[in-house]
Amino acid sequence: MAPALDVYLTELRTEVQDALERVLAALGAPPTIAAPIRYALIAPGKRLRPCLTLAAAESVGRAHGLNPLEARARARPAACAVEMVHTYSLVHDDLPAMDDDALRRGRPTTHVVYGDGLAILTGDGLLTDAFAAIARSPSPAAAPGDPEAPPEARLRAVDTLAAAAGSVGMVGGQALDLAAAGTAGAEAGTTAAAALEDMHARKTGALIRAASVMGAILAGGDDRQIAAIDAYARDLGLAFQIVDDVLDVEGSAADLGKTAGKDAAAGKLTFPALHGLETSRLMATACVDRARAALVAADLTGRLDDIASWSLGRTR
């Protein structure tokens, strides 16, 4: 019998945490920058993206004769890399020139503790070192005896992560978000709805898709399986952002681990601002239904289905 989802996710988070510790130990960075990098990266969090990498690897690996531990070991460097990229984005997003936030993951943000300059360098270091975690052989994220994905699979994973993190993906989405500040009162319509979805498909969705697809690639997935994982993650990413927007309206800072109500205060266009809370919840449910259907169509089993359902009921 499969363990409860919270038990399963705790197991994956522990694997990721241990691997991130190995990455940090291998960096050899000067203490001045090593301290804020550790502060940002090891802060408590959901670890959704690396968990998706490992769960997708399990799901696809099962179809190729890999046991769960072997599939996850092949994908673990990419799981660390995607968490490093995600953390870099949070550190930079919190800066005064961006979202100007003082609270992240239940603690003061990196720039509040270490200053703007070191926060910028922390993000730069995390982004750059992330790619080394995948490309190097053996990876600094690997434990002794871990199997390694073939070089061509690791190269494809690097390309996938770079596209998601760059100007077409997450960076482009953040630029659109900055440009959209102050538009919450804009007239609702197809153009506004399409622009909102495009922004979040880049800012949030691209990295969630990359996290999942890298797991499928590194576990030896074929084109059909990789496409199914991508379709699953595309809708999961949108659902995740819609729920985030709803929680920004209804949640508390204590639950969220970050400042609540920031989007409304900044006049940002969000799903509740454009569609209302109830319609936003229905949209998130429809996204999760489509995500689960993509797995069924490709005969992929595992815990990805459960993770999609969990995303609707989360409180942080």
Q: Which pLDDT belongs to residue 314?
A: 87
Q: Do 140 and 133 form a contact (C-beta atoms < 8 A)?
A: yes
Across the range 176-198, mean pLDDT stands at 74
| Model confidence band, residue 185 (pLDDT cutoffs 50, 70, 90) | very low
Q: Which pLDDT belongs to residue 186?
A: 47
Kindly report the average pLDDT of the chain as a whole number: 92
Across the range 180-198, mean pLDDT stands at 71
Across the range 37-57, mean pLDDT stands at 96
Assess whether pLDDT exceeds 70 at residue 272.
yes
E strands present in the chain: 103-104, 107-108
Across the range 19-45, mean pLDDT stands at 96
- For the record, the structure tokens of 175 come out as 């630029």
Q: Which pLDDT belongs to residue 316?
A: 74
* Residue among 78, 88, 216, 83 at smallest CA distance from 136: 78
- What pLDDT, in 10s, does the model give residues 98-130? 999 999 988 999 999 999 999 999 999 999 999
Residue the block writes with tokens 């499928």: 216
Domain of 139 in residue numbering reads as: 5-313
Q: Count the domains in the chain.
A: 1
% of the chain exceeding 90 in pLDDT: 83
- For the record, the structure tokens of 257 come out as 């681990």
Rounded Cα–Cα distance for residues 202 and 208 (Å)? 10
> What is the reported pTM?
0.93
The one-letter amino acid at 299: D
Rounded Cα–Cα distance for residues 210 and 207 (Å)? 5
- What pLDDT, in 10s, does the model give residues 292-305? 999 999 999 999 99
CA 263 to chain centre: 20
Assess whether pLDDT exceeds 70 at residue 267.
no
Q: Which pLDDT belongs to residue 252?
A: 59
CATH number of the domain enclosing 123? 1.10.600.10
* Residue among 266, 277, 270 at smallest CA distance from 241: 270
Q: Which residue has the higher pLDDT, 160 or 105?
A: 160
Q: What angle do CA 302, 231, 168 make, to 5 degrees?
A: 125
- For the record, the structure tokens of 262 come out as 């920031």
Assess whether pLDDT exceeds 50 at residue 284.
yes
Q: Which pLDDT belongs to residue 168?
A: 97
Could you write out the three-class secondary structure of 252-294?
CHHHHCCCCCHHHHCCCCCHHHHHCHHHHHHHHHHHHHHHHHH
- For the record, the structure tokens of 283 come out as 């949209």
- What pLDDT, in 10s, does the model give residues 222-235? 999 999 999 999 99
Q: Which pLDDT belongs to residue 131?
A: 98
Q: How far is CA 215 from CA 67, 134, 203, in A?
A: 14, 12, 20
CA 65 to chain centre: 27
Q: Which pLDDT belongs to residue 2?
A: 76
Q: Do 22 and 138 form a contact (C-beta atoms < 8 A)?
A: no
Name the DSSP letter for residue 143.
P
Q: What angle do CA 161, 153, 131 make, to 5 degrees?
A: 35
Across the range 53-74, mean pLDDT stands at 97
Sequence-ordered alpha helix ranges (H) in 64-109:
68-93
